[in-house]
Amino acid sequence: MALEKDPAAEIQELTHRINYLNFQYYQNSVSEVTDYEFDMMLERLQQLEQQHPELRQSNSPTMRVGGTITKSFKTVYHKYPMLSLSNTYSEEDLREFDKRVRKVVGDEVEYVCEQKFDGVAISLTYENGSFVQGATRGDGTRGDDITANVRTIRDIPLQVHGQDFPDLFEVRGEVFLPLQVFEQLNVEREEAGEQLLANPRNAASGTLKQQDSAIVASRRLGCFSYGFMSSSNPFDTHSESLQAIQKWGFKVSDTWRKCTSIDKVLEYITEWEGKRHELPIATDGVVVKVNSYALQEELGYTSKSPRWAIAYKYPAMSAVSRLLEIRYQVGRTGAVTPVAHMEPVLLAGTVVKRASVHNANEIQRLDLRLGDIVFVEKGGEIIPKITGVDFSQRPADAIPIEYPTHCPACGTLLIRAEGEANFYCPNDEGCAPQIQAKLEHFISRKAMNIEGIGPETIEQLYRTGLVRNAADLYDLRFEQLIELERMGEKSVNNILEGLQKSKEAPFDRVLFALGIRFVGSTVAKKLAEHFPDIEALRSAIYEELIAVNEIGDRIAQSLLQYFSEPEHQQLIERLKAAGLNFKFESTAPEMESDRLTGKTFVISGVFESVSRDELQRIITSHGGKVVSSISAKLSYLVAGDKMGPSKLEKATKLGITILSEDQFLEMVNS
């Protein structure tokens, strides 16, 4: 009986359908199916592709989730070179540009103004509407083939929509890490004691060069497309091509505008100077392009850039100040980072007194000296940084900066791990700022969330010698606390209550609170789900650790190191004795009965009295299993409203019992 659908046909159908749904969702913000139905389709497609890898379509939407490993990126030549743009910073230069253009092509010239996105340039090649290659700019002539990584970016269609496109064409655009994602990534890194990403541009560029495309997929990169090229270009103007590629499924930022004169161009520039900060990506100027392709050709190119376009750059948000002092901060993990203290200066509307200098290498690279006049900039990054020294103004008595060899707080000899830019103070048991920062992390909201205690209280508890580590917190008594300065009965009770309440925090939060290097809240969750309790985790060997999804060499080494130290063993024992949670408690639904054990269900359609999630929960809580596709082995199809006719037909053909919502509920409740 050939009742199962031909896998090739099903794969093709699902690929087509999911690509279409993605297009509707990402381009038109329309959800034609529920998330659940969508996930089920994608899961089914993945399952079929695993069974028949030879049938996987090159534009399969399953590529979006990544999983391809590229050991080294192949070099590819660009069919059309990837040029740069000449830059200008003044109205005068722009008027000059306009004059030059009009001299060649006459006065009837129209421009298109676009944002100059500060991301990573990319070239995308399509054959017969299918995405076939993604490449970086490289040296402009040849770049890296990063096709597998590009496939994970949802703003880039794997299959173009419509019919009106040439057989072979390229789209150019800018890949970026949305500012929100960038900030979130840094929050996670900070929590895990990792070095922060310098700015969204570098982060995007680094992400595109990841060997594992699943990591790329997890970063949620975006892409704004701004260029179209083909040897059979059907369009007369750049603006027409922008409209067309948008219709085909590319993401085009709707910030572009046609301008019929250079005055209109200047208006656009002024208008966007402030508004650009509301965009999801950093921009540093405006690109002005001649709209007509015929006129572009007439104007031609220099060896580096087109004569038909120019980039106007907004003045950098920079200021000049005097470097007064470098102070060294010791963080929770012992990392020692230099912070520049300067004479206060106004920068992008705020008074700035401090700036980052990242690490020792940077001090050397900039050749910083105390007393120097320095340039401070605020770019894509949130914290201003020192970008250079005005050597012409260097005072004769400027003092070279010597990076400390010993911890500025406790005097311990600093160490620098192979390949790392930062120095570390290894005295994690006796270095005051390190311990205080560890305690602050322990009580923080995402960790133990101890209400009633803040950084000042931590400082006070440390200073008075009452608390030296997290376990000491749980030994605090009313009589001790009430003795402290500025501490009333109410505050003391709040602290004690907060500590008591924190004992309810689940295992993963406790694990995160310990502050193990590289173990951020996400990693802590993964570990807690995998190892039932702290005993299992601390006795795990390297191989067992890296076998856990998302746990790599670095995290495994860090865990082994942490648990090997007797002080940490002791700390954990004391915290355990205090009643903290060192066991994973599953949040899986409680079993209500085993009435449905051995039975499989497909849920389809829309239901009246219960949601799909609720149906799923009911089935599993009675021992049943929910599956995605209908097969002869299926026990029941729970059919709601608006269920697809093909499913119904298939189930009927296979003689599967179809239950209505009421019948199903009656069955489990009887």
- Contact between 116 and ligand IVH by CB under 6 A: the answer reads yes
Work out how close the CB of 244 gets to ligand IVH at its nearest, in angstroms, rounded to a whole number. 16
Question: From CA 450, how far away is CA 467, in angstroms rounded?
Answer: 15
- Contact between 332 and ligand IVH by CB under 6 A: the answer reads no
| Residue 289 neighbours by CB under 8 Å, 6+ apart | 111, 112, 113, 114, 238, 296, 308, 309
577: exposed, middle or buried (Cβ count in 10 Å: 0-12, 13-18, 19+): exposed
Neighbours of 61 (CB within 10 A): 25
Q: List the 625-626 sheet strands across, edge first.
A: 625-626, 600-604, 636-639, 657-659
Contact, 516 vs 558, CB < 8 A? yes
Contact, 425 vs 407, CB < 8 A? yes
Q: Report the run of H or E that residue 351 belongs to, with start and end.
A: strand 350-356
Q: Which member of 14, 121, 545, 602 binds ligand IVH (CB under 6 A)?
A: 121
Q: Report the run of H or E that residue 479 belongs to, with start and end.
A: helix 478-482
Output phi, psi for 66, to 5 deg: 75, -160
Contact, 452 vs 498, CB < 8 A? yes
Work out how close the CB of 306 gets to ligand IVH at its nearest, in angstroms, rounded to a whole number. 5
Q: Which member of 23, 38, 97, 117 binds ligand IVH (CB under 6 A)?
A: 117
Token code pair at residue 614? 């609720």
- Contact between 85 and ligand IVH by CB under 6 A: the answer reads yes
200: exposed, middle or buried (Cβ count in 10 Å: 0-12, 13-18, 19+): buried
C-beta of 121 vs 223, nearer to ligand IVH: 121
Work out how close the CB of 364 gets to ligand IVH at its nearest, in angstroms, rounded to a whole number. 30
CA–chain centroid gap for 459, Å, is 34
C-beta of 115 vs 457, nearer to ligand IVH: 115
Work out how close the CB of 446 gets to ligand IVH at its nearest, in angstroms, rounded to a whole number. 36
- Contact between 639 and ligand IVH by CB under 6 A: the answer reads no
Q: Which stretch binds ligand IVH (CB under 6 A): 50-58, 194-202, 301-309, 603-611?
A: 301-309
Could you give the string, one character per residue 36-75, with x where binding to ligand IVH holds by CB under 6 A and - elsewhere? Answer: ----------------------------------------
Work out how close the CB of 64 gets to ligand IVH at its nearest, in angstroms, rounded to a whole number. 24
C-beta of 121 vs 524, nearer to ligand IVH: 121
- Contact between 308 and ligand IVH by CB under 6 A: the answer reads no
- Contact between 170 and ligand IVH by CB under 6 A: the answer reads no
Q: Which stretch binds ligand IVH (CB under 6 A): 304-312, 497-505, 585-593, 649-657?
A: 304-312
291: exposed, middle or buried (Cβ count in 10 Å: 0-12, 13-18, 19+): buried
- Contact between 114 and ligand IVH by CB under 6 A: the answer reads yes
Query: Of 134-163, which residues contact ligand IVH (CB under 6 A)?
Result: 137
Work out how close the CB of 81 gets to ligand IVH at its nearest, in angstroms, rounded to a whole number. 9
Question: From CA 89, how far away is CA 316, in angstroms rounded?
Answer: 10
Q: Which residues pair with 172 in a beta bridge?
A: 123, 227
Q: Which stretch binds ligand IVH (CB under 6 A): 37-45, 114-122, 205-213, 635-643?
A: 114-122
Torsion angle in degrees (nearest 10) through CA of 641, 646, 648, 653: 180
Could you give the string, one character per residue 195-234, with x where binding to ligand IVH holds by CB under 6 A and - elsewhere? Answer: -------------------------------xx-------
Work out how close the CB of 283 gets to ligand IVH at its nearest, in angstroms, rounded to a whole number. 8
What residue number has its CB nearest to ligand IVH? 121
Work out how close the CB of 89 gets to ligand IVH at its nearest, in angstroms, rounded to a whole number. 14
Identified catalytic residue from 103, 116, 313, 490: 116
DSSP secondary structure code for residue 195 in this structure = P
Q: Which member of 135, 221, 287, 656 binds ligand IVH (CB under 6 A)?
A: 287
Active site residue 116: yes
Cα–Cα separations (whole angstroms), residue 659 to 52, 356, 651: 32, 64, 11
Q: Which residues are catalytic?
A: 116
Question: What residue ranges bind ligand IVH (CB under 6 A)?
Answer: 83-85, 114, 116-117, 121, 137, 174, 226-227, 287, 305-306, 309, 311
